[in-house]
């Protein structure tokens, strides 16, 4: 992160230098900057031509009336009134939320800004956040490597609306019937928030076989629709379908791959509600699935962690201690893929609220390492799966490795658990088997 900041300052000063040159070389015709500033300023950067295309594409997906963002960024007035905060957030790298370090790997659906885009926004604010001419609006930004949800075959809605009771955060699992009558493959996942102002993130699980009864009991154990759940869905060995965060309708899974779901399964949807900007409001969210009756390669979203930690040993986080790190690595091909190589397409990292940073990588038998995901500043509010542009092959003998670091300011001995006061260090990979 620190390195990003200095790079940003460098780029913005380069841009400032460049636009200063342009201004000198041009005939100085006003671009709506009102003639303010002296020679060599960044006055060439204006809202309509320079800032708006970036903000429309990278911010207004969330910062829109009724969206999860605390204010709208859809007009010049809205954007300019938040100019200082925008400058601070983009320079610090906290907005748009995308905690993955780009030095580790490259991903589909990357929400982050390039150093140049940050330079443009910072330079625009520094130059006085001028409006410019609406007639000269810059062309819409085309983000590279998007893999949006291309089709919706099944819409599975919460059975009835639910209004959060805990504030500002509540985590609740809702149980829905899977309507398929034959085995189907989920090839894409999205979410239609019933109320975009409160739905912060959604994780979808599948329960089949004997888990169907377990889930029905959990559902019945709490009045109203669903049951409280925080760290996971509240039962052992769920099937994972995927995770969603605001800012897009959803994502397709890698071409030709999909996760099988049997008829009679239940879909368990964990919704994280956050009422900070809107207060508690009713919500009836739907999960959107793209499904196919067959795929080239069956995929699984395999959670991965140290079973000893889950059993309560080896992941102690002592009271009033910072920088506590635990790591784990083992060969997953032996455990989950019959000793065959695995093609890994994406990964995620899950800790709870004390989590500070973490890393998921493949340690190869020759001693080299492929980084799958590195999160230098973990934020519980912004979790998601990161789809690699280039899938990674994991050979038998390679280790899928996981490292988490926590700060524990509390007086409690913290270890693995599902509760808000407990912690986890969990990754998961979306993979297919290679012959
Ligand atoms: C994926 C949704 C999303 C996107 C995309 C997004 N924001 Fe935000 N933004 C939020 C939410 C939610 C908050 C409230 C704080 C939080 O939950 O982190 C927020 C808070 C902010 C804040 C106030 C808090 C702070 O950090 O100073 C600013 C300023 C901001 N966003 C600017 C931006 C800008 C500029 C962009 C685009 C370059 C952007 N955001 C993109 C969701 C988003």
pLDDT of residue 320: 98
Q: How far is the C-alpha of 52 from the C-alpha of 74, rounded, in Å? A: 8
305 touches 402 (CB < 8 A) = yes
For residue 277, give the nearest of 55, 72, 86 by alpha carbon: 72
C-beta 123 within 6 A of ligand 1? no
pLDDT of residue 418: 85
| Residue of 68, 83, 95 best suited for mutating to test ligand 1, as the one with most atoms within 8 Å of CB | 95
The percentage of residues in the chain with a pLDDT greater than 90, rounded to a whole number, is: 82
Mean pLDDT of the chain: 90
Region 100-107: mean pLDDT is 97
pLDDT at residue 4 greater than cutoff 70? no
C-beta 381 within 6 A of ligand 1? yes
8 touches 113 (CB < 8 A) = no
The pair of three-digit structure tokens given for residue 425, joined into one six-digit string:
């260090």
Residue located via tokens 């500002």: 168
Q: How far is the C-alpha of 121 from the C-alpha of 271, rounded, in Å? A: 33
User: What confidence tens digit (pLDDT) does each residue in 216-242 have?
Assistant: 999 999 999 999 999 889 998 889 999
Q: How far is the C-alpha of 242 from the C-alpha of 302, rounded, in Å? A: 11
122 touches 12 (CB < 8 A) = yes
pLDDT of residue 278: 85
C-beta 218 within 6 A of ligand 1? no
Q: How confident is the model at residue 256 (pLDDT cuts 50, 70, 90)?
A: very high
pLDDT of residue 353: 92
Region 244-261: mean pLDDT is 94
pLDDT of residue 187: 98
- What lies within 8 Å, CB to CB, of 430 at 6+ separation is 253, 254, 257, 299, 300, 301, 302, 344, 345, 346, 347, 385, 387
User: What confidence tens digit (pLDDT) does each residue in 104-118 have?
Assistant: 999 999 999 999 999
Residue located via tokens 């708006």: 52
The pair of three-digit structure tokens given for residue 38, joined into one six-digit string:
């002296």
Q: Whose CA is nearest to atom 7 of ligand 1?
A: 96
pLDDT of residue 12: 39
Q: How confident is the model at residue 419 (pLDDT cuts 50, 70, 90)?
A: confident
Q: How far is the C-alpha of 305 from the C-alpha of 328, rounded, in Å? A: 7
Cα(293) to centroid(ligand 1), Å: 39
56 touches 72 (CB < 8 A) = no
| Residue of 97, 202, 272, 278 best suited for mutating to test ligand 1, as the one with most atoms within 8 Å of CB | 97
pLDDT at residue 32 greater than cutoff 80? no
Residue located via tokens 């979203």: 301
Looking at 35-49, 58-72, 378-392, which range is the least confident one?
35-49
105 touches 371 (CB < 8 A) = yes
380 touches 423 (CB < 8 A) = no
pLDDT of residue 383: 86
Q: How confident is the model at residue 381 (pLDDT cuts 50, 70, 90)?
A: confident
Cα(77) to centroid(ligand 1), Å: 17
Residue located via tokens 């669903």: 226
Atom of ligand 1 nearest to the CA of 86: 29
Q: How far is the C-alpha of 336 from the C-alpha of 360, rounded, in Å? A: 18
Cα(356) to centroid(ligand 1), Å: 20
Cα(62) to centroid(ligand 1), Å: 8
For residue 407, give the nearest of 327, 319, 348 by alpha carbon: 319
C-beta 86 within 6 A of ligand 1? yes
Cα(421) to centroid(ligand 1), Å: 26
Cα(60) to centroid(ligand 1), Å: 9
Cα(70) to centroid(ligand 1), Å: 7
pLDDT of residue 384: 87
Q: How far is the C-alpha of 287 from the C-alpha of 156, rounded, in Å? A: 5
272 touches 171 (CB < 8 A) = yes
Q: Write the CA distances from 356 to 6, 241, 323, 325, 353, integer angstroms.
A: 22, 26, 8, 10, 8
Q: How far is the C-alpha of 148 from the C-alpha of 312, rounded, in Å? A: 39
Q: How confident is the model at residue 14 (pLDDT cuts 50, 70, 90)?
A: very low
Atom of ligand 1 nearest to the CA of 58: 37
Residue 207 buriedness (CB in 10 A; 0-12 / 13-18 / 19+): buried
pLDDT of residue 17: 33
Q: How confident is the model at residue 91 (pLDDT cuts 50, 70, 90)?
A: very high
Question: Between 80 and 249, whose confidence is greater?
Answer: 80
C-beta 246 within 6 A of ligand 1? yes
pLDDT of residue 276: 85
Region 124-152: mean pLDDT is 96
Region 311-338: mean pLDDT is 97
C-beta 97 within 6 A of ligand 1? yes
Q: Whose CA is nearest to atom 10 of ligand 1?
A: 69
The pair of three-digit structure tokens given for residue 139, joined into one six-digit string:
């062309």
pLDDT of residue 391: 98
pLDDT of residue 236: 87
C-beta 120 within 6 A of ligand 1? no
C-beta 84 within 6 A of ligand 1? no
Q: How far is the C-alpha of 82 from the C-alpha of 55, rounded, in Å? A: 12
Region 277-301: mean pLDDT is 96
C-beta 70 within 6 A of ligand 1? yes
Q: How confident is the model at residue 154 (pLDDT cuts 50, 70, 90)?
A: very high
C-beta 61 within 6 A of ligand 1? yes
| Residue of 56, 96, 275 best suited for mutating to test ligand 1, as the one with most atoms within 8 Å of CB | 96
Atom of ligand 1 nearest to the CA of 82: 29
pLDDT of residue 237: 86
The percentage of residues in the chain with a pLDDT greater than 70, rounded to a whole number, is: 90
Region 379-383: mean pLDDT is 89
Region 18-30: mean pLDDT is 33
User: What confidence tens digit (pLDDT) does each residue in 383-395 have?
Assistant: 889 999 999 999 9
Region 86-100: mean pLDDT is 97
For residue 48, give the nearest of 80, 13, 20 by alpha carbon: 80
| Residue of 62, 75, 200, 272 best suited for mutating to test ligand 1, as the one with most atoms within 8 Å of CB | 62
pLDDT at residue 10 greater than cutoff 50? no
177 touches 263 (CB < 8 A) = no
């Amino acid at each position: 992160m620190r390195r990003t900041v200095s790079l940003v300052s460098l780029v913005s000063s380069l841009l400032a230098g460049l636009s200063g040159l342009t201004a000198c070389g041009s005939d100085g015709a006003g671009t709506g900057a009102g003639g303010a500033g002296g020679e060599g300023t960044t006055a060439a950067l204006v809202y309509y031509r320079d800032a708006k295309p970036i903000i429309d594409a990278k911010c207004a997906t969330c910062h829109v009336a009724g969206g999860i963002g605390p204010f709208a960024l859809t007009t010049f007035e809205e954007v300019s009134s938040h100019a200082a905060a925008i400058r601070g957030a983009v320079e610090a790298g906290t907005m748009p939320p995308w905690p993955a370090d780009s030095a580790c790997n490259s991903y589909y659906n990357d929400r982050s800004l390039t150093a140049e885009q940050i330079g443009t926004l910072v330079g625009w604010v520094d130059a006085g956040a001028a409006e410019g001419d609406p007639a000269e609006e810059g062309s819409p930004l085309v983000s590279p490597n998007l893999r949006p949800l291309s089709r919706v075959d099944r819409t599975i809605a919460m059975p009835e609306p639910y209004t959060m009771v805990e504030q500002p955060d509540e985590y609740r699992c809702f149980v829905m019937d899977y309507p398929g009558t034959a085995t189907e493959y989920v090839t894409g996942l999205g979410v239609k928030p019933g109320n975009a102002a409160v739905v912060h993130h959604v994780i979808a699980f599948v329960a089949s076989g004997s888990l169907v009864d377990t889930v029905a009991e959990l559902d019945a154990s709490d009045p109203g629709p669903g049951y409280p759940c925080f760290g996971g869905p509240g039962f052992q060995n769920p099937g994972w379908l995927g995770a969603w965060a605001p800012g897009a309708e959803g994502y397709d899974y890698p071409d030709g791959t999909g996760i099988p779901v049997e008829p009679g399964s239940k879909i368990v949807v964990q919704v994280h509600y956050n009422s900070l900007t809107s207060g508690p409001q009713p919500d009836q969210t739907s999960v959107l699935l793209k499904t196919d009756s067959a795929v080239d390669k069956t995929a699984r979203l395999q959670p991965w962690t140290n079973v000893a930690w889950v059993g309560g040993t080896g992941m102690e986080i002592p009271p009033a201690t910072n920088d506590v790190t635990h790591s784990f690595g083992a060969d997953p091909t032996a455990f989950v893929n019959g000793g065959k190589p695995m093609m890994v397409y994406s990964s995620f990292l899950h800790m709870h609220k004390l989590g500070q940073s973490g890393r998921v990588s493949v340690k190869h038998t020759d001693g080299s390492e492929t980084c799958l995901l590195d999160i230098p500043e973990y934020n519980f509010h912004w979790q998601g799966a990161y789809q690699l542009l280039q899938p990674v092959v994991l050979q038998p003998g390679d280790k899928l490795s996981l490292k988490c670091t926590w700060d524990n300011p509390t007086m409690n001995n913290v270890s693995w658990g599902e509760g808000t006061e407990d912690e986890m260090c969990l990754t998961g990979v979306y993979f297919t088997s290679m012959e």
